[in-house]
């Protein structure tokens, strides 16, 4: 008989958490009721929620325009971003309080246009921090973003490093957090209220390798793509455990059940889209028990194939595969930053129609 509590069982019986991959309130309520420990936003997500629920948010936008007579379309766009994040934070507050402030966060993303400017990212992070006590600020894991991560954590901001696809980025984020923690300790500041997260967008690694195979006419076993992001994530997790990093890994860019089933048992989080949350709950996919698969490595033959055919897999998989100055120019980084920027422009376009 199908269980309706698969993910709730996972969240209660293992250290593995899941987040709702949206701030849409209907989806978020269902996710929280089934054990969700957080939620996330970005320009694409906010734009999609706005498209799907225009009638709900149109009065909000009009009130911003009325109350802030000199506000630009960009000003209104960020007011809406903050409004949706605060709305989600309020829904997650019982989770936050019940966990003693260890979970129940919602992420809000800094302006993707700032990916080269650590000062601007820090300024925005400090502002977002004041929206709610369970706000987590997304900062891209570019070279400038790593610097912003350290300064933000030092200033007491809970961060979620995003636009991150590689072990090298995950290690750099964790090291930046460790430096910030040590600086706080030296300054007599507590670290117990900080719960930093580093995202690895596992599905976008797969997307990029599939695109590379298509462009370069590479013929290989198709299943290796499905496990490429899983392999990167598990390798990063292994390193995090060995080095006792105090940053939590989060798997994002959900593409298949593997991005849940392969990580069960790990002290990690994952963001899952609403439709996948329902599918995982409304089937007997887990077979009534939660098997620890986080510590089972991806087959070495698959990793060997990936390394053989894709230089960018090796760059993503090896902890020294890239230097920070290369992070923003990695193929998946370029594609994701472009999508975020375009998503923001689309959202502003909707607001422009109301404003003008």
Interval 205-230: pLDDT, tens: 999 999 999 999 999 999 999 999 99
* Token pair of 185 as six digits: 């300790």
Q: 311 to each of 37, 157, 308, 319, 331, how far by Cα in Å?
A: 36, 35, 7, 14, 11
pTM of the model: 0.96
Q: How would you label 19-47 residue by residue, b for 16+ Cβ within 10 Å and e otherwise?
A: bbbbbbbebbebbbebbbbbbbbbbbbbb
pLDDT at residue 3 in the model:
42
136: phi then psi, degrees, rounded to nearest 5: -120, 135
Provide the 8-state DSSP code for 299.
Answer: P
* Token pair of 327 as six digits: 């992070």
* Token pair of 317 as six digits: 């998989």
pLDDT at residue 2 in the model:
39
SS3 at position 145: helix
Residue ranges in the chain whose pLDDT is less than 50: 1-4
* Token pair of 188 as six digits: 């007599």
pLDDT at residue 287 in the model:
65
pLDDT at residue 49 in the model:
94
Residues counted in the chain = 356
SS3 at position 237: helix
**Number of Cβ within a 10 Å radius of residue 305:** 18
What distance in Å separates the CA atoms of residue 133 and residue 90, rounded to the nearest whole number? 10
- Give Cα 143 distance to the centre of its chain: 18
pLDDT at residue 232 in the model:
98
Question: Any alpha helices (H) in the chain, and if so which ranges?
Answer: 6-13, 25-33, 43-52, 54-67, 73-98, 118-129, 143-154, 167-186, 202-216, 223-243, 258-261, 274-281, 300-309, 311-317, 331-355
């Amino acid at each position: 008989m199908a269980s309706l509590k698969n993910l709730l069982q996972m969240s209660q019986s293992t250290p593995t958490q899941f987040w709702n991959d949206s701030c849409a309130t209907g989806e978020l309520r269902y996710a929280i009721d089934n054990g969700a420990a957080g939620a996330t936003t970005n320009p694409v997500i906010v734009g999609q929620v706005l498209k799907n629920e225009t009638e709900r948010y149109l009065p909000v936008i009009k009130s911003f325009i009325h109350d802030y007579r000199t506000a630009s379309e960009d000003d209104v766009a960020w007011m809406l971003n903050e409004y949706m994040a605060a709305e989600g934070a309020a829904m997650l507050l019982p989770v936050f309080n019940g966990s003693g402030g260890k979970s129940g966060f919602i992420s809000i993303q800094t302006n993707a246009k700032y990916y080269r400017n650590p000062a601007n990212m820090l300024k925005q992070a400090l502002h977002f921090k004041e929206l709610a006590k369970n706000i987590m600020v997304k900062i891209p894991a570019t070279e400038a973003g790593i610097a912003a991560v350290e300064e933000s954590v030092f200033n007491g901001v809970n961060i979620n490093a995003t636009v991150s696809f590689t072990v090298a980025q995950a290690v750099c984020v964790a090291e930046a957090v460790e430096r910030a923690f040590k600086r706080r300790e030296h300054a007599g500041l507590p670290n117990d209220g900080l719960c930093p997260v580093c995202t690895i967008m596992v599905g976008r690694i797969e997307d990029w390798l599939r695109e590379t195979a298509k462009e370069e006419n590479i013929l290989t076993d198709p299943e290796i793509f499905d496990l490429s992001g899983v392999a990167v994530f598990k390798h990063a997790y292994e390193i995090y455990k060995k080095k006792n990093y105090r940053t939590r890994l989060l798997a994002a860019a959900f593409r298949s059940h593997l991005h849940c089933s392969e990580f069960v048992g790990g002290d990690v989080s994952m963001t899952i889209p609403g439709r996948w949350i329902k599918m995982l709950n409304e089937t007997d996919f887990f077979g009534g028990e939660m098997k620890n698969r986080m510590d089972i490595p991806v087959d070495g033959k698959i990793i060997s194939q990936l390394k053989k055919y894709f230089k960018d897999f090796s760059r993503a998989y090896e902890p020294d595969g890239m230097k920070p100055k290369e992070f923003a120019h990695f193929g998946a980084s370029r594609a994701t930053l472009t999508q975020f920027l375009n998503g923001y422009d689309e959202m502003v376009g909707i607001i422009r129609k109301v404003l003008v």
